[in-house]
Amino acid sequence: MLREETAASPERRAAALKGLSAYQNARRGRKRASKPVSARAGRARLRDYGRDPAGVPVVVVPSLINPPQVLDLRNASLMRWLARHKGLRPMLVDWGTPVARIDTQDVAGHVEALLVPLLAALDQPPILVGYCLGGTMAAAAAALHPVRALAMIAAPWRFSGFSAQALQEIDSLWHAAEPMCRSLGLVPMEVLQSGFWRLDPARTVRKFERFAALEPGSPTARSFVVLEDWANGGAPLTYAAGRQMFDDFFAADLPGMGRWHVGGKPVDPLSLGVPVVEFVSTTDRIVPFASAAGFADQRITSAGHVGMVVGSKRRDVLWKPLRDWIRGQVLPK
């Protein structure tokens, strides 16, 4: 891919390859110790970040794609920042690593067999906060289990909102990869990562060009390595989850028209009967603005899919507004 995007410029190709080599050889710090587990359901865990045991549980649901660490990065941890606020008990869902042919849940099955049992282990209805595909899944969980409120962050709902080009790229990717994934019983992260690259291959080249010019070990360089490691990491999906995503969600306006059934119930986030809010970006390349659920309470930002969570403006565009909204569901009216 680097060769294709920089074929017309040997200088750019050299810079990008230099940046890629620097990234591969960059020093990594020690991984953070995992937070204690407050509930288990199969391979999934609910990790407790709360400092206030009596606080209202705020369960944050990450995507199945990429690990949940983007919500707990060093110097940019939404989870630990929320935990500093009295009255809140943030908890993060850890989906664990699926085993081929043993873990066979599709996306709906993850909600039914893993997420809802984690919520049922709590002593009171939680506030659900879902990021990316985790927001889609959190909406389904809210249809099956009592919750206090739901917040969706950069979460796709109306899959017809993806561009025709993106849908064509997704279909082409799955058509090529599906036989191997079916044979493995898993969808390797490499398959999903290649899909992200296809969204904007030139951007991938540019970011490594820029990284080549950074001072090794500088704060900016360290942040790049941490985020790139997160983007390239993560457990595989179950084959069933990948098949449902690619064959069902992206093949039609699902679940945007309310035709997605989980636990025998249709899922419609517009009719949950609890307070809802969504944070959406006008520049999101992963989850386009047009795919949002369309809540009346819609907070719009120009920060990107990842930038709204960990970027330099994260506190103003997401963290503080989310905290204030959560407090509004907790504090007496």
Are 73 and 145 contained in the same domain?
A: yes
Which two tokens mark 282? 């006008």
Its domain, for residue 12, covers 2-30+189-232
pLDDT number for residue 255: 67
Answer whether residue 267 is part of any domain: yes
pLDDT number for residue 258: 63
pLDDT number for residue 146: 97
CA torsion through residues 233, 119, 332, 299, sign: positive
Are 54 and 114 contained in the same domain?
A: yes
Measured CA to CA, the distance from residue 191 to residue 238 in angstroms comes to 13
Are 241 and 217 contained in the same domain?
A: no
Are 141 and 218 contained in the same domain?
A: no
pLDDT number for residue 332: 61
Which two tokens mark 153? 């962050």
Are 147 and 289 contained in the same domain?
A: yes
Measured CA to CA, the distance from residue 65 to residue 90 in angstroms comes to 21
Measured CA to CA, the distance from residue 187 to residue 15 in angstroms comes to 32
Measured CA to CA, the distance from residue 142 to residue 268 in angstroms comes to 10
Quote the number of domains for the chain: 2
Are 227 and 250 contained in the same domain?
A: no
Are 88 and 221 contained in the same domain?
A: no
Kindly give the pairing relationship between strand 44-48 and strand 261-262: unpaired
CA torsion through residues 161, 239, 310, 321, sign: positive
Contact call for residues 155 and 131 (beta carbons, < 8 A): yes
Answer whether residue 264 is part of any domain: yes
Q: Chain-centre distance of CA 273, in angstroms?
A: 25
DSSP symbol at 318: I
| Ordered per-residue pLDDT tens for the chain, 333 residues | 455 554 457 788 888 888 889 888 888 877 788 899 999 999 999 999 998 888 999 999 999 998 899 999 988 999 999 999 999 999 999 999 999 999 999 999 999 999 999 999 999 999 999 999 999 999 999 999 999 999 999 999 999 899 988 888 889 999 999 999 999 999 999 888 877 776 667 777 888 888 888 888 888 888 888 888 888 888 999 999 999 999 999 876 666 666 788 998 889 999 999 999 999 999 999 999 999 999 999 999 999 999 999 999 999 999 999 999 999 998 765
Answer whether residue 306 is part of any domain: yes
What is the number of other CB atoms lying within 10 angstroms of the CB of residue 48? Answer: 18
Are 23 and 53 contained in the same domain?
A: no
Answer whether residue 263 is part of any domain: yes
Are 197 and 219 contained in the same domain?
A: yes
Are 225 and 270 contained in the same domain?
A: no
Q: Chain-centre distance of CA 329, in angstroms?
A: 23
pLDDT number for residue 333: 54
Nearest-CA neighbor of 67 among 305, 237, 187, 217? 237
Contact call for residues 67 and 234 (beta carbons, < 8 A): yes
Q: What is the CATH number of the domain that holds 49?
A: 3.40.50.1820
Are 55 and 139 contained in the same domain?
A: yes
What is the number of other CB atoms lying within 10 angstroms of the CB of residue 3? Answer: 10
Are 314 and 247 contained in the same domain?
A: yes
Contact call for residues 177 and 191 (beta carbons, < 8 A): yes
pLDDT number for residue 47: 98
Residues 6+ away with beta carbon under 8 Å from 269: 139, 142, 143, 150, 152, 157, 276, 293, 295
pLDDT number for residue 252: 67
Answer whether residue 167 is part of any domain: no
Answer whether residue 171 is part of any domain: no
Contact call for residues 47 and 92 (beta carbons, < 8 A): yes
Nearest-CA neighbor of 285 among 207, 212, 216? 207
Measured CA to CA, the distance from residue 313 to residue 326 in angstroms comes to 19
Residues 6+ away with beta carbon under 8 Å from 140: 108, 111, 260, 262, 267
